[in-house]
Amino acid sequence: MAKLTGVDVGAHNTKESCWVIVHGKAYDVTEFLPEHPGGSKIILKYAGKDATEEFDPIHPPDTLDKYLDKKFHLGEVDMSTVEVEEKQVDADEAARLERIKHMPALDQCYNLSDFEYVAKQVMRRTGWGYYSSGADDEITMRENRTAFHKIWFRPKILIDVEKIDMTTTMLGSKCSIPFYITATALGKLGHPEGETVLTRAAAQHGIIQMIPTLASCSFDEIVDAADGKQTQWFQLYVNKDRNITKRIVQHAEKRGCKGLFITVDAPQLGRREKDMRSKFADDGSNVQKGGDQDSIDRSQGAARAISSFIDPSLNWKDMPFFQEITKMPIVLKGVQRVDDVIKAVEHGMHGVVLSNHGGRQLDTAPTGIELLGEVMQELRARNLQDKIEVYIDGGVRRASDVVKAVCLGAKGVGIGRPFLYAMSAYGVPGVCRAIQLLKDEFEMNMRLIGANRIQDLTPDLVDTRGLHVHTVPTGNDVLYGGVYDPLVNPAFKAK
């Protein structure tokens, strides 16, 4: 069959007939326009044109095969006939490209905030806006960090700390250190190879990776990038259509995932202003505007665009459904109260992640580390401490944070954004260096605290008396404070 030409596709550049090219193939998306979770406007911007670059970061490669009826797959396009549009590089973008040429050498990054500092300057605005944003006033997001400063060590002296063993197990899988790469969406907003960058770095370091439902890469690409020996878990956003949920959970199990983390703190994704302000560029369309644009609210940035399938009716009564469809250990991710941890035990869950979703959901929700002390106390009082594995995430930037969490009873700690920043700035070597820095810090901390093995990290090694006080000033973390990107008011238009 003769290939389509750029002119053939270009003729369909209206709302009434909208064709787009993705990876050298043309698709008729006219009927799909009103259904597109990100709104029709962004597709119409590319009506009659090549949309690959915009499409890639936010859609796994199998999206069109899965969701667009085959009759709308129009076939291959002779890409030599497609006009390549001159990219308009505005002053901000030109400055960003210049900064990329002068990035600091990787070995100049000595801590996780250094990666954030570099990423902030070299990432595109949309990616940075999406990754760095927190909910509302970002109070919880910042508290996630400062909460760790309120815990002080009570180090032991004169312990033989020549040998240090940092290895542990999480959900029965061995790992080199008690932290994991937690699930974060849209990896290709930071790096063209997306989540597979994290997979490869995790393999090199014996670190567990949690695969996100909302990855830019397809699930299979991420599993295929693994080395066959490493452990991967699967994070689930529960689809309103339980058949889809069942299919993806069972597929994850079949492909070897060793844990199912059901996100329970996001019946609706939070309101994140940095993401909203830097939303996917939706102006400049050459398509006629006006009329009933579309019904989906596009003003909410990437988060809303990708999350409309999440089931807000998910509740405790659904738990047996998951236990029936999989044998993977099930962990509830995003638990925020002590009594919900007890309920999780009663429902036969294998674990909980005490988490506020990186401060991206409910602002002024408690931090995982603060909750941890309370949770472990209650579990111990009920003799349930061995019935469930407790994890935390949020705000971790130093291995001392991980040590503190483990002392308080966490089995492990999730780290998300820092690895995204290391990935976005420096790819696999960046993530490997970030992990290695944490390992070096962890080993040093264990020596200095007087602990040889993970079992030696016990509650008596930390002083948490200040943890529950929210109003006292804490020691300033100049690194985190220096890279924190404050919320802003709207800019006036240029005269």
- The total of other beta-carbon atoms located within 10 Å of residue 422's CB is 32
- Per CB under 6 A, does 405 bind ligand PYR? no
Q: Which two tokens stand for residue 162?
A: 């020549």
Q: Is 357 in the site for ligand PYR (CB under 6 A)?
A: yes
Helix (H, G, I), strand (E, B) or coil at 213: coil
Among 185, 305, 375, 423, binds ligand PYR (CB under 6 A): 185
CB of 357 vs ligand PYR, minimal distance in Å: 6
Return the number of the residue (166 or 303) whose C-beta is nearest ligand PYR: 303
Closest distance of CB 214 from ligand PYR, Å = 5
Q: Is 265 a catalytic site residue?
A: yes
Nearest to 391 by CA among 342, 318, 341, 446: 341
Q: What does the alpha-carbon distance between residue 275 and residue 255 come to, in Å, rounded to a whole number?
A: 33
**At its nearest, how many Å lie between ligand PYR and the CB of residue 360?**
4
Site string for ligand PYR, 253-282 (x = CB under 6 A): ----------------x-------------
Backbone angles phi, psi at 429, to 5 degrees: -60, -35
Site for ligand PYR in 108-137 (CB under 6 A): none
Q: How far is the CB of 303 from ligand PYR (least distance, A)?
A: 4
Out of 131, 180, 237, 391, pick the active-site residue: 237
Q: Which of 82, 106, 177, 303 binds ligand PYR (CB under 6 A)?
A: 303
Q: Which of 136, 357, 401, 477 is catalytic?
A: 357
Residue 179 phi, psi (nearest 5): -140, 160
Q: Does 398 bind ligand PYR (CB under 6 A)?
A: no
> What does each C-alpha distance from 117 to 16, 68, 287, 423 come to in angstroms?
45, 40, 38, 13
Based on the shown chain and the rule CB under 6 A, indicate whether residue 214 belongs to the binding site for ligand PYR: yes
Selected binder of ligand PYR within 12, 360, 411, 417 (CB under 6 A): 360
Q: Which residues contact 388 (CB under 8 A, 6 or more apart)?
A: 341, 344, 345, 349, 350, 351, 352, 379
What number of chain residues touch ligand PYR (CB under 6 A)?
7
Q: Closest Cα to residue 341, out of 408, 397, 402, 264?
A: 264
Q: Pairing mode, if any, of strands 412-415 and 462-463?
A: unpaired
Token pair of 270 as six digits: 């939070």
Which sequence positions are flagged as catalytic?
A: 237, 265, 357
Q: Could you list the residues that contact ligand PYR (CB under 6 A)?
A: 185, 214, 269, 303, 307, 357, 360
